[in-house]
Structure 1
Amino acid sequence: MYALEMDFTNIKCQDHTGQNCCLFCESCDQLVCPLCISKTHNGHGLIEISEGYEIKLDRLKQAKVKIQSNLQKLNKHSVMIEDQLRYDIDLYRDNKKNVQAQNIALKKAVDQLTEKMDKKVEELYTGEKKSHERAQTKANELKKKSEDQMSMLEDIITAKDAAKIFTGGEKFAQSLIEKVQIPFLISKGELLFYPGKITEEVFGKIGLRKDCVDIERLITRTKVK
């Protein structure tokens, strides 16, 4: 159809100056003039230039179809890249928000644990303090009793009363002598606070989702949501 509208009579030969092409060589896929035929293309598959034109034009159309297909694929791929970029931006914002939310949550949890630990330390210290105060009170009572006994004995000794010394002083002294039961100091042990470590396992970590292999499916699923 296109060949009928074209003028093929004035196509110059590329190899022979002054010669116009007259046929198309299918074997060599090129236009030829009479000199070309006599020197090289004699016996080849020669057809009219209009037919060769249609063959060339058909090849170009086929190439155009392939390029159009490639362009469609590239356009689709570009759209996917843009969608992926938007998805990554949303994911970035979500991750930033979640990290900050975790930071706030952990700070709150740390404050609560700090208050709990402070209360526990206070309770343990108060218990130990009361135990030591009771022990000190008991020790003071025993000390006062021993001091009183010491004072009574010194009075007898310094009185220089022979009758008291011989008649009742020794018995009195023996009655005052008793083994003092020193109470044991009871303690639950050295109370220490052992701080833990805030690690990624506690705070959280950045990792790849296992179902993110198909990017197109993931983006489509995200859009549906």
Structure 2
Amino acid sequence: MALSKAQDIIACNLCESDTKLKWKCLDCDLLMCNKCCDKVHPKFKNAKDHTIVDIKQVGVSGGVRHQDFTNIKCKIHTTQYCCIFCSSCDKPACPSCITKGHAGHTFIEIKEAYEMKVEWLKNRKRKLKMNETRLGEGDNTLDQILVRESSNCQKTLQDIQHQRDALKKEVDRYACRLIEEVNKNMTRIRESISKEKKKVLTRRQLEENKLETIEEILTTMDMSFFFENTDLIPKYFDQDVGVVNSSHNRMPLFKSGTISQSNVGTLYEDISSSNTAIAMKINKEFITGFKYCQYMAACSDGTLWIGDDAMKILHKMKPEGNILQTISTIKTELRGIAVTHNNDLLITDGQFKLKVVNGRTGKVSESKYSADPLGITDVHITSDHKVIVGAMSPGKAFPVTGRRVVIVMDQEGNHLTVYEQDKFKRNMFSYVWRITSTNTGNICVVDCLSDDYRSKVLVLCGDIVNEYVGNQVINKEDKRLQIANITTTPSDNIVVVDFDNHIHILDSSANLVYYYNIKEIGIEFPYCPIFTSAMSFYIGCYQPEGSTQKARLYEIQYSGF
């Protein structure tokens, strides 16, 4: 909803003629043009100690608002101006109104009424913003439901296909019918969620229009316009936006029957908690030719980049059966690697500029991504093609000196955001060890706190910083969290691997969902995980000091996160 408005032009508060406002004195609370700021204001007492800022920093609305309460024409007696506000009638009144229609009523100053209504509007504005936030959260919940149910659909179809392959030829027709039913269920779920998302979008747009309308009223200089339109607010604006319907049909799972024509299997509704039990099992095991699988990145063609900084070597490898076939090898220092969306590889060797490996030719060259004069400690590429690096001032990692930052760049290498200090001006990072991100844009940082790898996870979500320092069951005072690596799953869970054989599964806000001791499936010394699908991931390991064995790489099938 849009309202027409008329605003007085604000002039310089000193000369009262120049309308090209440039500066504001925070001490005098005055808006000034360039000339008055240079020539007139310095003559004020103690002017040299005043704080003067560019008006762009505070806006005109942050300056002095000289509302003209003497120019409100009476709607009934059009030749007179309102001089007081009738609280009983909730409107301004002129002298004639007072004597003729407001006997026994309560009156207050127009300015006081204005201030009361401004406060009332601000309260309504806060409520609208809360409504918009709630709708946004509901919209995100719908997206998460769709991702979860799509994953369930994929698993259900796979279970049906496996069962179908084990059955006799004559049951094929019945299995096809079940598959068709699953697809119809998923179609209904998509349609239901799509319909609800359209409703949410409509309501969000309505709330945004309401916000725009209130903002127009709050910033107007026309008091007639202000009071006339403020009266409309309760009728049109105090409507509950309702709640987002997040209850939708669930994807039925597949229950296997005996291998017979009469009992192929049936679909059933999963009425248990949405928190599915975590399960992992080794699908394949590979023996590498090096001691540490410290760095890994997956290309879309199925090849893997695996790096060992101890040997200062980087391999491009292709899993073939249970063998890793080496395609190419690069000798280089390593601090972090990341595959771009066109299968090139970005490398940091601790210098201020990233290197790039051409995915087709294998040629190594300098990239356009720089943190100069800071040395880059890790690199990550987001789902929307941004490049994120951790960086520090030249020197040793510990004790902490100089700058420690996280930098977000666009595809051209331009710096978009630099994270360095929190809202209390305290340094956020000790040493940026590893970086990943969620599909929703949260940046997840492993901050190493000391040279014994004691560390924590920071999840940056706009101005909000969430922290994970471990699980109280396994990370007691004498066993602090020591993180080897971090990554995210296709469903936006955060996966943290520690040096004590545990996998910590967090939600996108750094809350612990589950932890898993990977030794239970026969894996020791995990180091670097990388997810390649919604059902499987690789985890590279290392060998402890003194061991003569080579590091293992495992392909793991998983479910539940």
Normalising to structure 1: TM-score of the pair? Answer: 0.52
Give the deviation of 1:45 after TM superposition: 1.0
Q: Deviations over 1:45-96 (max 9, x none)?
A: 1000000001110110110111111111111101001111111211122211
Q: For the aligned residues, what is the CA RMSD?
A: 3.3
1:40 paired to 2:101 = yes
Q: What is the alpha-carbon distance in structure 1 between the residues aligned to residue 506 and residue 164 of structure 2?
A: 26
Q: How many residues align?
A: 135
Q: Secondary structure at the match of 1:102?
A: helix
Q: Which residue of 1 aligns with 2:142?
A: 81
Q: What is the alpha-carbon distance in structure 1 between the residues aligned to residue 167 and residue 114 of structure 2?
A: 77
Candidates 154, 164, 177, aligned match of 1:93? 154
**Where in structure 1 do 4 or more consecutive aligned residues deviate above 6 Å?**
1-4, 217-222
Structure having the larger proportion of residues in helix: 1
Q: Secondary structure at the match of 1:73?
A: helix
Contact 2:168 2:260 in 1 (8 A): no
Q: Secondary structure at the match of 1:18?
A: coil
Q: Which residue of 1 aligns with 2:73?
A: 12
Do the aligned partners of residues 198 and 39 (structure 1) sit closer, same or farther apart at CA in structure 2, a change above 3 Å counting?
farther
Q: Deviations over 1:13-56 (max 9, x none)?
A: 22222221111111121111122212221221100000000111
Q: How does 1:165-184 map to 2 (within 5 A)?
A: none
Q: Matched residues, percent identical?
A: 36
Q: Which amino acid is the alignment partner of residue 261 of structure 2?
A: I
Q: What is the alpha-carbon distance in structure 1 between the residues aligned to residue 120 and residue 93 of structure 2?
A: 19
Q: What is the alpha-carbon distance in structure 1 between the residues aligned to residue 99 and residue 154 of structure 2?
A: 76
Do the aligned partners of residues 97 and 197 (structure 1) sit closer, same or farther apart at CA in structure 2, a change above 3 Å counting?
closer
Q: What is the alpha-carbon distance in structure 2 between the residues aligned to residue 222 and residue 99 of structure 1?
A: 31
Candidates 70, 83, 88, aligned match of 1:22? 83
Do the aligned partners of residues 2 and 50 (structure 1) sit closer, same or farther apart at CA in structure 2, a change above 3 Å counting?
farther
Q: Which has the higher contact order (CA 8 A, sep 6+)?
A: 1
Normalising to structure 2: TM-score of the pair? Answer: 0.22
Candidates 196, 204, 207, aligned match of 2:265? 204
Q: What is the alpha-carbon distance in structure 2 between the residues aligned to residue 10 and residue 81 of structure 1?
A: 51
Q: What is the alpha-carbon distance in structure 2 between the residues aligned to residue 49 and residue 101 of structure 1?
A: 78
Structure having the larger proportion of residues in strand: 2
Q: Deviations over 1:116-164 (max 9, x none)?
A: xxxxxxxxxxxxxxxxxxxxxxxxxxxxxxxxxxxxxxxxxxxxxxxxx
Give the deviation of 1:197 after TM superposition: 6.5
Q: How does 1:56-135 map to 2 (within 5 A)?
A: 56-107=117-168
Q: Which amino acid is the alignment partner of residue 198 of structure 1?
A: Q
Give the deviation of 1:5 after TM superposition: 2.5
Do the aligned partners of residues 3 and 18 (structure 1) sit closer, same or farther apart at CA in structure 2, a change above 3 Å counting?
farther
Q: What is the alpha-carbon distance in structure 1 between the residues aligned to residue 125 and residue 266 of structure 2?
A: 50
Q: Which runs of 5+ in 2 are unaligned?
A: 1-61, 172-258, 277-490, 494-504, 508-512, 514-560
Q: How does 1:140-159 map to 2 (within 5 A)?
A: none
Contact 1:3 1:54 in 2 (8 A): no
Q: Secondary structure at the match of 1:211?
A: coil
Give the deviation of 1:107 after TM superposition: 3.5
Q: Which amino acid is the alignment partner of residue 271 of structure 2?
A: K
Q: Which runs of 5+ in 1 are unaligned?
A: 111-195
Give the deviation of 1:2 after TM superposition: 9.2
